[in-house]
């Protein structure tokens, strides 16, 4: 779970930074999208590198879900009888909602692919819309934007808990480092969330588009 999570975090950082091209205008954003598809040319056929990235991400997502289900089953077997009362003093809100948050994030990923990659939901105007057209059309839909923002906030909570847990899993924390790990996880999760939120907020407020 830790390794697959780290792979996805690295992708999220790159994706969030790439989204910022929208502030440079339609041409810059579309050129960036085309660069992703032609990365590796002419040594490799078009979309080879992007396809490999997609395969790695898909495997990481499946592995992450499998690990989460496996850990949940182990916990159930270890404690088949529920606690009479649950103590939540040591739990953060993120850790208590991480499973449901993960489900919602998974649904969001599916929607996002259908919207931005396959263009089968909320299609942009025109017979051959550009990636910039799709983005603007999607984020100008209030319902989609609200779902997008809620999903991103849940992603932030999920990331904060996941980063902290990953460091623990990999054996890189102890009592002396715990505060530093907590602060680092919070800062990284907040930064990624804010970077993703900037785009829909800018489109909704007409700063972009």
CA angle 34/39/41 to nearest 5° reads: 110
**Whole-angstrom distance, CA of residue 76 vs CA of residue 82:** 9
Least confident among 37-46, 100-109, 188-197 = 100-109
Q: Are 209 and 32 in contact (CB under 8 A)?
A: no
**Whole-angstrom distance, CA of residue 115 vs CA of residue 49:** 22
Model pTM score:
0.84
Is residue 140's pLDDT more than 60?
A: yes
- Rounded to an integer, the average pLDDT of 47-72 is 91
Asked if omega into 161 is within 30° of 0 (cis), the reply is no
**Whole-angstrom distance, CA of residue 205 vs CA of residue 125:** 20
Q: What pLDDT shows up at residue 87?
A: 47
Is residue 30's pLDDT more than 50?
A: yes
**Whole-angstrom distance, CA of residue 61 vs CA of residue 52:** 14
- Rounded to an integer, the average pLDDT of 35-52 is 94
- Rounded to an integer, the average pLDDT of 127-138 is 86
Tokens representing residue 178 in the block:
């715990």
What is the 8-class DSSP label of residue 115? I
**Whole-angstrom distance, CA of residue 60 vs CA of residue 9:** 11
Beta carbons within 8 Å of 133's beta carbon, 6+ residues apart? 26, 124, 125, 126
Q: What pLDDT shows up at residue 16?
A: 94
Tokens representing residue 16 in the block:
């969030």
- Rounded to an integer, the average pLDDT of 136-165 is 88
Least confident among 3-7, 77-81, 172-176, 200-204 = 172-176
Share of residues in the chain with pLDDT > 90 (%): 39
**Whole-angstrom distance, CA of residue 55 vs CA of residue 84:** 44
Is residue 34's pLDDT more than 90?
A: yes
What is the 8-class DSSP label of residue 104? H
Q: What pLDDT shows up at residue 89?
A: 42
Q: Which domains, and CATH codes, for the chain?
A: 2-80+92-204 (1.20.1300.10)
Beta carbons within 8 Å of 160's beta carbon, 6+ residues apart? 92, 94, 185, 186, 189, 190
Q: Are 29 and 132 in contact (CB under 8 A)?
A: yes
């Amino acid at each position: 779970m830790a390794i697959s999570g780290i792979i996805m975090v690295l992708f999220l950082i790159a994706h969030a930074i790439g989204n910022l091209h929208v502030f440079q205008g339609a041409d810059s954003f579309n050129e960036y999208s085309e660069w992703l598809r032609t990365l590796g040319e002419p040594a490799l056929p078009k979309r080879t590198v992007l396809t490999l990235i997609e395969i790695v991400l898909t495997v990481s997502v499946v592995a992450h879900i499998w690990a989460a289900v496996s850990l949940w089953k182990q916990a159930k077997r270890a404690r088949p009888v529920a606690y009479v009362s649950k103590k939540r003093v040591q739990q953060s809100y993120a850790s208590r909602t991480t499973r449901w948050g993960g489900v919602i994030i998974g649904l969001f990923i599916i929607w996002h692919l259908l919207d931005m990659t396959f263009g089968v939901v909320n299609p942009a105007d025109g017979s051959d819309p550009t990636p910039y057209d799709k983005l603007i059309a999607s984020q100008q839909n209030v319902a989609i934007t609200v779902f997008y923002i809620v999903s991103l906030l849940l992603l932030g909570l999920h990331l904060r808990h996941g980063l902290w847990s990953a460091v623990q899993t990999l054996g890189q924390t102890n009592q002396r480092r715990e505060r530093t790990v907590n602060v680092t996880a919070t800062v990284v999760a907040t930064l990624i969330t804010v970077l993703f939120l900037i785009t829909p907020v800018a489109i909704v407020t007409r700063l972009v588009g």
